[in-house]
Chain A
Amino acid sequence: MRHRWMTLAGVLIAVALLAGCTRKPAGTTKAEKIVIGWAQWAPADYLQELSKEYTEETGTKVVVEQIPWPQFQDKIFAAFAAADDTYDIVVGDSQWLGRCSDPDSQHYLELTDWMNENLDVDAFSEAALINLGEYPKDSGRYWAVPAETDAVGFAYRRDWFEDPEEMAAFEARYGYALAPPRTWQELRDIAEFFTRPDEKRYGAALYFGKQYDTVTMGAQEVMWSFGGSYGDPETYRVEGILNDEAGVKALEFYIGLRKFAPQGAESFGIGKECVDAFNQGLVAMAEDYFAFFPGLVDPEKNPHATQTGFFPSPAAIGPDGEERHYISIGGQGFSIPRYSKQQEAAKEFIKWFCQEPVQVKWAGLGGFTANRNVLASEEFLKATPYNEAFAACFPHLRDFWAVPEYGELLTVTQTEWNAAVNGQKTAKAAMDAVAKQHTEIFEKAGYYK
């Protein structure tokens, strides 16, 4: 009996030793599989497609796990909170940088030294690198490598815009030619002109919804272009800045566009409802991130695909008479979670991805590269009907607060601005409420000590 127990113990020890010897040490370069966590959208499909080449070259399988947009942030952060090692790379939103790089969370590995040593940092578009990778701003510290750059833009019905009768009628009514709008004021005129509920035609499908960051991304670019601001980025003072005349006028203007949108527009969100309204032939213009536009040039999804044009989010003339042009940045960067057991393998993949020939392929698949050379190439600009408009956005890109408290700040703007869109609050009341609550959040977090 005793002999049998000894044998069993011996076998177990041998198995354990063998397992110990064959187990990959943490941080090894070679990996069988790496898992990338990203939102569910076309660029994630492109990345999955592109990664097949990486698998062929290295033998490492790449799995892009796609999470529906409304659950994207919640699921990734829940994984971080649980120190889950599922994801070797997370393609996270730019607003996450502050929270994920905070010394108290350290969800992201700092990539500054590694990027400076292994990547050509100058090859990235400055706007993409600063907004998608750097935190704090102007610190030179990087937590993410730009993967997919994006910006808010518009699709429009060329057949409606170029109809001679419509053009003549528009010019007679507004005194200038009907063309893709250069300013938000022009966009308003065009939206008003095309709003004909009896014909089931509306002016514009815009970001008004409450899900995730929709209404914030839509309204903030109007606020910035009107001369408004979220607050002082140095002192984090908000009162009297966010709810100043420019801010209030901007929100008043933005919610005023609601009457030119189809029914139910209060819930129109990112990547679905605006595009759906456009595909259904309901609207003359539809707002969305450029990464959602591939569906609009696909005749199987959009019956008006051949008659669809694109333009960047327009500039605006503020209450002070000055013209400014700001566009909400989208897109995400590759970050490596501290909890990944394959951090070196993740770095190897990112390094491979950033090579210019791979970036050319990435752009060819439909990905929005952050590589300056590829962005400026004629091949990229002509690759799709919307790439030129997308490239024109770069000098104007701006982002929401990227501080660790961004989630709370975002909840406030989403609730208050959506309430303003619904007519539950005036623009002034909504802006005052946001200013008050943002101040409270910053105060509680100790920014005013």
Chain B
Amino acid sequence: MTTAVARRRRALSDYQVKMLFLMPTLLLLVGMNVFPLIWSLYLSFHRYAADMPGRAPEAVGTANYTALLHDPNLWRYFQITAEFVVLAVGAQFLIGFGVALLLNREFKGKGLVTTLILLPMMLSPAVVGLFWKLIMDPNWGLLNFLIRPVTGAAPAWLTDARTALPSLVMIDTWMWSPFMMLICLAGLNAVPKYLYEAADVDRASGWFKFRHITLPLIGPLLLLALIFRTMDAFKLFDMVWVATAGGPGDVTEMVSVTLYRQAFQNWNTGEACALAYILLVVIIALSNLYIRWLNRVRGEA
């Protein structure tokens, strides 16, 4: 027995052992990520419906991309998505950073307050969409119950074409500002105290300290948070689907909602894959812009 084990041990080189450990992960990555990516790229050049197994993918060249890029509705949905991303991520950044500045000092119950503020981001977006839909119900929702006595008005938050998108921005901001706050707080905590002390000795103003110490040092971290949130907000689907389903009409029809519709309601799998790739390119381009900015900020810092 001992000889057999020793023989087997000898038979496996270091490289083989490494591969043995790496193989399950590699197989999983290829099976779950790489293959679907390549397969969906292939399908994006075909006319295909995933629920029609008897219909083989029919090569259509770039027709799916051409049709999508010539669809005026899609450009409007990109515009709506961009509007949402700018408003939501902007508000989250301002609120998150503001709250982080407030929390960046010692006070009693700081741990509890921080934990409570973090709670919304721990919920599922679908759940958040559902309960905000109930809260924002114009007839029996809690929000109108609270504001009606003060304002005398009871807006139809999610069902009025004028307020639907701002309401979604509000919900997303409620959910994700804590994430911004967390990253900002981590950055603020990492700023060496002696820099502020030195600035105090020089009688620097609060704004000077913020502009020349705080901002440059936490800048790279803020940009990272912005990248994450922008990518996430661009892909946002579940919360919107539950809260408005892209309505009223199509005023909250994000690109991700259209993508879902194409893929799972209309079963235009080929076109849906093409749209997914367009979305991927947009997100990569946006991320690259941020990363360039990040590198510049790092260089300056």
List residues of A whose CB falls within 8 A of some B CB: 70, 73-74, 77-78, 80-81, 83, 99, 102-107, 209-211, 262-267, 276-277, 280, 282, 407-408, 410-411, 415-416, 418-425
**B54 interface residue, CB < 8 Å from A?**
yes
**B91 interface residue, CB < 8 Å from A?**
no
The smallest C-beta distance from B144 to any residue of chain A, in angstroms, reads: 9
Closest 8 CB pairs of A and B: A419-B249, A210-B247, A104-B54, A263-B138, A264-B138, A104-B55, A422-B248, A266-B159
List residues of B whose CB falls within 8 A of some A CB: 50-55, 137-140, 154, 156, 158-161, 244-251, 253, 261, 264-268
Asked whether A81 and B250 contact (CB < 8 A) given A282-B139, A411-B261, the answer is no
Asked whether A267 and B248 contact (CB < 8 A) given A411-B261, A411-B266, A424-B161, the answer is yes
A424 to B267, CA, bound (A): 27
Please state if A77 and B267 are interface contacts (CB–CB under 8 Å).
Answer: yes
Asked whether A267 and B247 contact (CB < 8 A) given A73-B265, A423-B161, the answer is yes
One of A105, A262, A282 near B54 (C-beta < 8 A)? A105
Task: A411-B266, A416-B249 given; name 20 further pairs at CB < 8 Å.
Answer: A70-B245, A81-B51, A99-B51, A104-B52, A104-B55, A105-B54, A211-B245, A263-B138, A263-B139, A264-B137, A266-B160, A267-B248, A280-B140, A282-B139, A407-B267, A411-B265, A415-B253, A418-B249, A422-B248, A425-B249
Within 8 Å CB of B161, what residues of A?
422-424
One of A99, A104, A411, A419 near B248 (C-beta < 8 A)? A419
Asked whether A262 and B139 contact (CB < 8 A) given A81-B51, A104-B55, A407-B266, the answer is yes
A276 to B138, CA, bound (A): 13
Asked whether A209 and B138 contact (CB < 8 A) given A265-B159, A408-B268, the answer is no
A299 to B260, CA, bound (A): 40
Within 8 Å CB of A424, what residues of B?
161, 248-249, 251
A407 to B52, CA, bound (A): 14
The smallest C-beta distance from A169 to any residue of chain B, in angstroms, reads: 25
Within 8 Å CB of A74, what residues of B?
264-265
B258 nearest in chain A by CB position: A411
One of B51, B140, B261 near A77 (C-beta < 8 A)? B51
Question: What are 22 A-B pairs at a CB distance below 8 A?
Answer: A70-B245, A74-B265, A78-B264, A81-B50, A81-B51, A104-B55, A105-B51, A106-B54, A107-B51, A263-B138, A263-B139, A263-B159, A265-B159, A266-B159, A280-B140, A407-B266, A415-B250, A418-B247, A418-B248, A420-B249, A424-B161, A425-B249
Task: Point out which of A103, A104, A267 has the most chain B C-beta atoms below 10 A from its C-beta.
Answer: A267
- A-B pairs under 8 A by CB, number: 104
The smallest C-beta distance from A420 to any residue of chain B, in angstroms, reads: 8
A70 to B265, CA, bound (A): 11
Within 8 Å CB of A107, what residues of B?
51
The smallest C-beta distance from B126 to any residue of chain A, in angstroms, reads: 11
A403 to B209, CA, bound (A): 68
One of B52, B53, B156 near A264 (C-beta < 8 A)? B156
A270 to B247, CA, bound (A): 16
Please state if B249 and A422 are interface contacts (CB–CB under 8 Å).
Answer: yes
Within 8 Å CB of B140, what residues of A?
276, 280
Please state if A263 and B154 are interface contacts (CB–CB under 8 Å).
Answer: yes
The smallest C-beta distance from B228 to any residue of chain A, in angstroms, reads: 28
Task: Point out which of B158, B248, B261 has the most chain A C-beta atoms below 10 A from its C-beta.
Answer: B248
A405 nearest in chain B by CB position: B266
B50 nearest in chain A by CB position: A81
Asked whether A266 and B156 contact (CB < 8 A) given A104-B54, A210-B246, A422-B161, the answer is yes
The smallest C-beta distance from A52 to any residue of chain B, in angstroms, reads: 32
Within 8 Å CB of A264, what residues of B?
137-139, 156, 158-159
Task: Point out which of B137, B138, B245, B253 has the most chain A C-beta atoms below 10 A from its C-beta.
Answer: B245
A415 nearest in chain B by CB position: B250
Within 8 Å CB of B264, what residues of A?
74, 77-78
Within 8 Å CB of A106, what residues of B?
53-54
A78 nearest in chain B by CB position: B264
Within 8 Å CB of B50, what residues of A?
81
Please state if A102 and B52 are interface contacts (CB–CB under 8 Å).
Answer: yes
The smallest C-beta distance from A41 to any residue of chain B, in angstroms, reads: 18
A407 to B268, CA, bound (A): 10
Please state if B248 and A421 are interface contacts (CB–CB under 8 Å).
Answer: yes
A263 nearest in chain B by CB position: B138
